[in-house]
Amino acid sequence: MQTPHPPIPGNPSGPGRPGSAGSPGGSRLDPWVTSYAERAQGMTASAIRALFSVANRPEVVSLAGGAPFVQALPLDDFADTTAKLIRERGATALQYCTGQGDERLREQICDVMELSGIRAHPDDVVITTGSQMALDLTVRVFCDPGDVVFVESPSYVGALGVFSSYQCEVVHVMTDEDGLNPVALSEAIDTARAAGKRPKLIYTVPTYQNPLGITAPPARRTDILQVAKSAGLLLLEDDPYCLLGFDGEVPRAIRADDADGVVYLGSFSKTIASGLRVGWALAPHGVREKLVLASEASVLCPSNFSQLTVSEYLATAPWLEQIKGFRELYRQRRDALLESMEQMMPAGTTWTVPDGGFFSWVTLPNGLDTTAMLPRAVAGLVAYVPGTGFYVDDQGRDAMRLSYCFPEPDRIREGVRRLSGIIETEMELVETFGPTSNTGRLPRRGPRTPSPELP
Amino acid sequence: MQTPHPPIPGNPSGPGRPGSAGSPGGSRLDPWVTSYAERAQGMTASAIRALFSVANRPEVVSLAGGAPFVQALPLDDFADTTAKLIRERGATALQYCTGQGDERLREQICDVMELSGIRAHPDDVVITTGSQMALDLTVRVFCDPGDVVFVESPSYVGALGVFSSYQCEVVHVMTDEDGLNPVALSEAIDTARAAGKRPKLIYTVPTYQNPLGITAPPARRTDILQVAKSAGLLLLEDDPYCLLGFDGEVPRAIRADDADGVVYLGSFSKTIASGLRVGWALAPHGVREKLVLASEASVLCPSNFSQLTVSEYLATAPWLEQIKGFRELYRQRRDALLESMEQMMPAGTTWTVPDGGFFSWVTLPNGLDTTAMLPRAVAGLVAYVPGTGFYVDDQGRDAMRLSYCFPEPDRIREGVRRLSGIIETEMELVETFGPTSNTGRLPRRGPRTPSPELP
C-alpha cells in the first residue's frame, strides 16, 4: 500500500519514532489547558499512581491491587471454547451487536442473579464494558453537577472517580461493622436537603465491601432499602463479589426485594475473567431505556466477542465448580493474611475479617499516616492502598486496604512481614519526632481517579 | 450453591420469569422520571429505531446499517490465533490491563497510522472500546454544556449522539463536494463568538465521510487545519475508513501535519472486526493524560482479551492483504449500488460517488420526505437511514444514506429496485396530493442517539 504523498515533513527529530516530548511541533506545556471542560479540572494523576507503577515490579509484594487470580481458570478449555465460537459463529461474534447486549447472555445473567435471590427479566438487563461502565452510565443518566451521592465510609475508589467525573457532591455516611448505618444515612439525607442540596443516589457495596471487606446482614439491608424508599432516592447496589463468600452462601441482594428502587450492578470480572470486561446493570424499566441510549452514545455496543465468549463458557463449562475453586483459593489467602497479621502486626493495629471477597481494612495506631508511609513501604518492597484513596475528604489517613486476591499465600506472609517492619520503624519515628501527618511528602488525598490497579 | 433464604417473595406474577411490565412491584410508568440528569432529557428512543428492528428481518434488504462484512475474515485462522493467545498468555489476556491500553498494540497502532502519514509515539495513543468511546471521552474532557461544536452537513449520527449527550450546541457548517467548507467554517466560528457562545471543537470525517461518502483533497485539509489553528480550536479528526479506499491509496491524515492541534480517532472495526470493539485516540500529550483518566473512570481499562487478539492478528496474519480483500469486496458493492441507481432511480434523484468507505448520500427530487417515506419503504422490504438522522436541525428531509458494505451485490441491486419503486410511487402521490412534508407520521428528527445499526 502506498501513501500518495512525499516523505513526512514537520518532524524535527528526524528519522525514527519521535519521543512524546519531542512530537512534531510539540512542547511539554499543554496548549489546551484553558479549553478543558469543568468536569476535567479534577482529572489529574496523583503522586500515588506513580508509586504503583514501581509497585508492579516483581520484587515488590503488592497487597494493593484488586486483580483476580485468573491463572486459576482452565485456560486450555477456555481456548477451545473461544476457538469453537469463532469457527462456528464468528460472523456474529466479530460483528456489532445491539446496544443492550446479547439476548442469550442476558438470560444467563438472570440465572446468575437468581443465586442472589433476584428475579428479573432479561429485557431489564444492560450489558456493559465491565460493571464500571454500568456505574458510569447510571451516574451519567441521573446526576447533574452538584447532585449529592451518599456512600459508605470508606467507599470504592472507582465509584468515587465516577462521581467526581460527573461533579457530584459525595457524602460519606457513617459505616459500622454491618455496613452503611441507616440512622446516619437518613440524617445525612435530611441535612443535605435542609442545606438546599439535591440528594440523588445512595451507592453501596453491601457484600464483601471494597475496601472494608464487611457484609451487611439481612436486617441491615432491609433498613437501608427503607431509608432509600422513604427519601425517594435511587439505590445503586454494586455487587461484584457476591459469589465469592467463603462459606459458599450467597447473600440475598437488596434488589431481590425491590425492583423499582434499585439499580443493581453485576460483573464477571471476579468470577470468570476481568480481561473480558463484561458486566451489567439490572435496572427499572424506564431507567434501563436511558442506560441503553447512554451506552450507545458511549460505545455503540459492548464487545460481542467478549459477550459470546462468556455466554459459551457459562453454557458449556462447569462454571459454578470453577467459582468454588476460586472461593477456596481466596479463603486460603485470606487466612494467610489474617494469620500473619495476627502474628506480626504491631500492637494497636486492627483489621476487618472478611467472609468473602478480596480485601481487609487495616487501621494503624494513632499518629501513623499511611499516605506518608507509602514511599517507605514501597522502598521496603511491599505495597498497599492508603486509606485516603477511599474518601473524598481528609479521612482514612491512619488506614490502608490490603488485598489478598492475587499473591500466593507465602508471598502474602512475606508482604505482611515487610509491612509490619515498616510500621514498627514508623512507630519509632513517631515516638521520637512526633506524627508525620503534616510533613508527608505526598498529597493528602489518595488516588481519586480509579486505576486498573485498584478495582 | 444454596442461597440462605426462603423462596423469593415479592413477585406477584408467581412462578416463572416475570415479564418486564409485570416486574415485582413494577409498573409501566417510570417512577424516576423527575430524577434524571438534564443531559438525559434528550435520551429518548426515536420512532425510527423501532422501524430498524423490523428492518433487520431477512426478507428486508437493509441499505441502512454500517456493519462491515466480517464474514470475509479468515475465521479459522482467527480462531487458531485466539486459542494460541489464551493458551500461552491467558493469564495476561484475561486480566485487567492499564487504562491506556496494551503497549505492544499501541506500537502496532503507530505503524498502522504511518500508512496515513502520521508519525506518533505509542505513549500518545489511548486504546478504547471502539473509537466511539474515544470520541465520547474527548467530548467529556473538553465540552461543558452549551459549548459549540462545528460539524459537517450532514455529520455522523453517532457523533451527534455524543455531542447531544454532553449538551453541546452543534453547528452544521456548509459542506461541499470537497468536505467542510473552510470559509463557511471560519464564518460560523466568528458568528458563534459574536453571539457570546463558546466554540470548542471542530469535528470532521475527512475521508470517505459518513454519511456523504466524500473525501477532502489535500489542499482542503490544509485549509481546514488553518482555520482551526487561527481560531484556537481543537480539531477532532475521525478516520475509521482511511484504509478502505478503492484505489488502494491512503489519504494523508490532517493529524500528519499537526501533532498539537488534532485529536485523531482510529478504529479496527472496519479493517479487522467491529465485534472486538478496539479503537483508539492519538492525542497531544496533555490531552492524552486526561483521556486516560476519563477512560479509567468510565471502564477502568479496555478489554485485554480484545486488545491482545488484535495485536496477535496484526503480528501474525497478512492483515494488509486481508484489507485489500475488503477493499475489493466493498468496491464491487459500491459498483453494484451506483450501477443499479443509474439504471433504476427516478429522474431528479442524485447521489454522491464514494472512492472508498461504506456510504453514498442520495437526494430525492423536490417535495419528497425520506422520513415520512421510511415506513412505506420498510413495508416494501427495503431500508435506509433518512437524512434527518445526520442533522440536529431540520435539514436532510429530502435525503437518505445508503450503505453498500453488508449486502451482497445482487441484494443491493434488488434493494435499489425496490427503493426506486417506492420513490416512484411516492412521487406520484406528491404529484396528486402535494408534499407529505408536514403530514409525515414520524417525528421530523431522525435517530439522534446512535444505534449500533448505524455506525
**CA dist., res. B50 & res. B40, Å (int):** 20
Helix, strand and coil content of chain B, in percent to the nearest 5, comes to 45, 15, 40
**CA dist., res. B403 & res. A448, Å (int):** 44
**CA dist., res. A253 & res. A264, Å (int):** 9
Could you tell me which residues are beta bridge partners of residue B356? B245
User: Amino acid identity of A277?
Assistant: R
Cβ atoms of residues A279 and A306 within 8 Å: no
Contacts of residue B300 in chain A, CB cutoff 8 Å?
A: 130, 132, 158, 277, 450-452, 455
Bridging pattern class, strands A179-180 and A175-176: antiparallel
User: Amino acid identity of A150?
Assistant: F
Quote the pLDDT of residue B47: 64
Q: Order the strands of the B399-403 sheet from edge to edge.
A: B350-351, B359-363, B399-403, B385-386
Q: Does A451 sit within 8 Å of B296, measured CB to CB?
A: yes
Q: Grid cell 481560531 — which residue?
A: B231
Contacts of residue B259 in chain A, CB cutoff 8 Å?
A: 10, 23-26
Burial B57-69 (b: 16+ CB within 10 A, else e): eeebbbbbbbbbb
**Around Cβ A337, how many Cβ atoms within 10 Å?**
26
Q: Which of A293, A320, A403, A408 to mutate to test the interface with B (most CBs of B within 10 A)?
A: A293
DSSP A453: T
CA nearest neighbour of B144 among A56, A359, A34, A278: A34
Q: Is B317 on the interface with A (CB under 8 A)?
A: no
**CA dist., res. A5 & res. B350, Å (int):** 32
List, as ranges, residues 319-378 from A with C-beta within 8 Å of B.
320, 323-324
- Burial of A453 (C-beta count, 10 Å sphere; 0-12/13-18/19+): buried
Total CB pairs under 8 A between chain A and B: 424
Q: Is B6 on the interface with A (CB under 8 A)?
A: no
Contacts of residue A140 in chain B, CB cutoff 8 Å?
A: 37, 39-40, 165
Q: Is A73 on the interface with B (CB under 8 A)?
A: yes
Q: What is the maximum span of chain A, computed from C-alpha positions, in angstroms?
A: 73
CA nearest neighbour of B112 among B339, B266, B328, B307: B266
Q: Is B408 on the interface with A (CB under 8 A)?
A: no
Contacts of residue A322 in chain B, CB cutoff 8 Å?
A: none
Q: Is A239 on the interface with B (CB under 8 A)?
A: no
Please write the tens of the pLDDT for every residue from A182-226. Answer: 999 999 999 999 999 999 999 999 999 999 999 999 999 999 999
Interface confidence (ipTM) of the complex: 0.90
Nearest chain B CA: its distance from A419 CA (Å):
25
Cβ atoms of residues A202 and A236 within 8 Å: yes
CA nearest neighbour of B215 among B137, B142, B116: B116
Q: Is B146 on the interface with A (CB under 8 A)?
A: no
Contacts of residue A67 in chain B, CB cutoff 8 Å?
A: 95-96
How far is the CA of A161 from the CAs of B96, B252, B451, in angstroms? 17, 38, 28
Sign, Cα dihedral of A65, A71, A77, A79: positive
Please write the tens of the pLDDT for every residue from A86-118. Answer: 999 999 999 999 999 999 999 999 999 999 999
User: Amino acid identity of B55?
Assistant: A
Quote the pLDDT of residue A452: 58
The values of phi and psi at residue A291, to 5°, are: -60, -40
Q: Does B115 sit within 8 Å of A1, measured CB to CB?
A: yes
Contacts of residue B276 in chain A, CB cutoff 8 Å?
A: 94, 303, 305
Quote the pLDDT of residue B399: 97
Q: Which three cell numbers stand for residue B169?
A: 450546541
List, as ranges, residues 432-451 from A with C-beta within 8 Å of B.
449-451
Q: Is B36 helix (H, G, I), strand (E, B) or coil?
A: coil
Q: Cα Rg for chain A, rounded, in angstroms? A: 23
Q: Does B95 sit within 8 Å of A67, measured CB to CB?
A: yes
Q: Give the end-to-end CA distance of chain A in Å, rounded to a whole number.
A: 43
H or E element that contains A274: none
Q: Is A408 on the interface with B (CB under 8 A)?
A: no
Q: Grid cell 450503505 — which residue?
A: B403
Q: Grid cell 483533497 — which residue?
A: B217
H or E element that contains B370: helix B370-379
**CA dist., res. A316 & res. A295, Å (int):** 29
How far is the CA of A170 from the CAs of A143, A203, B145, in angstroms? 12, 10, 22
Nearest CA in chain A to B447: A293
Q: Grid cell 452510565 — which residue?
A: A137
List, as ranges, residues 97-126 from B with C-beta within 8 Å of A.
97-99, 110, 115-117, 119-124
Could you tell me which residues are beta bridge partners of residue A36? none
Nearest CA in chain A to B111: A17
Please write the tens of the pLDDT for every residue from A320-358. Answer: 999 999 999 999 999 999 999 999 999 999 999 999 999
Cβ atoms of residues A225 and A257 within 8 Å: yes
Contacts of residue A328 in chain B, CB cutoff 8 Å?
A: none
Q: Does B300 sit within 8 Å of A140, measured CB to CB?
A: no
Quote the pLDDT of residue B3: 36
Please identify, in words, the CATH class of the domain defined by B47-72+321-433.
alpha beta
Contacts of residue A62 in chain B, CB cutoff 8 Å?
A: none
Per-residue pLDDT of chain B (455 residues; tens, 9 = 90+): 333 333 333 333 333 344 443 344 344 689 999 999 999 987 777 666 777 777 778 999 999 989 999 999 999 999 999 999 999 999 999 999 999 999 999 999 999 999 999 999 999 999 999 999 999 999 999 999 999 999 999 999 999 999 999 999 999 999 999 999 999 999 999 999 999 999 999 999 999 999 999 999 999 999 999 999 999 999 999 999 999 999 999 999 999 999 999 999 999 999 999 999 999 999 999 999 999 999 999 999 999 999 999 999 999 999 999 999 999 999 999 999 999 999 999 999 999 999 999 999 999 997 899 999 999 999 999 999 999 999 999 899 999 999 999 999 999 999 999 999 999 999 998 888 877 654 444 444 444 455 655 56
How far is the CA of B242 from the CAs of A180, A263, B117, B255, in angstroms? 53, 41, 11, 13
Nearest chain A CA: its distance from B432 CA (Å):
40
Burial B393-406 (b: 16+ CB within 10 A, else e): eeebbbbbbbbbbb
The set of residues, in sequence order, having a beta carbon less than 8 Å from that of B57 and lying 6+ positions away, is none
Q: Does B30 sit within 8 Å of A284, measured CB to CB?
A: yes
DSSP B345: S
Q: Is A309 on the interface with B (CB under 8 A)?
A: yes
- Burial of B84 (C-beta count, 10 Å sphere; 0-12/13-18/19+): middle
In the CATH scheme, what architecture does the domain B85-316 have?
A: 3-Layer(aba) Sandwich (3.40)
Q: Which three cell numbers stand for residue A325?
A: 475453586
What are the residue boundaries of the structural domains of chain B, listed by start? 47-72+321-433, 85-316
Nearest chain A CA: its distance from B174 CA (Å):
25
Contacts of residue B251 in chain A, CB cutoff 8 Å?
A: 4
How far is the CA of A96 from the CAs of A90, B56, B267, in angstroms? 12, 13, 13
Q: Is B213 on the interface with A (CB under 8 A)?
A: no
Nearest chain B CA: its distance from A335 CA (Å):
22
A86, A249, A304 member nearest B2 (Cβ): A249
Quote the pLDDT of residue B430: 86
CA nearest neighbour of A384 among A402, A366, A409: A402
Contacts of residue B76 in chain A, CB cutoff 8 Å?
A: 87
Q: Which three cell numbers stand for residue B101?
A: 491500553
Q: Which three cell numbers stand for residue B211?
A: 454519511
Topology, domain A75-316: Aspartate Aminotransferase; domain 2 (3.40.640)
Quote the pLDDT of residue A450: 52
Sign, Cα dihedral of B165, B168, B172, B173: negative
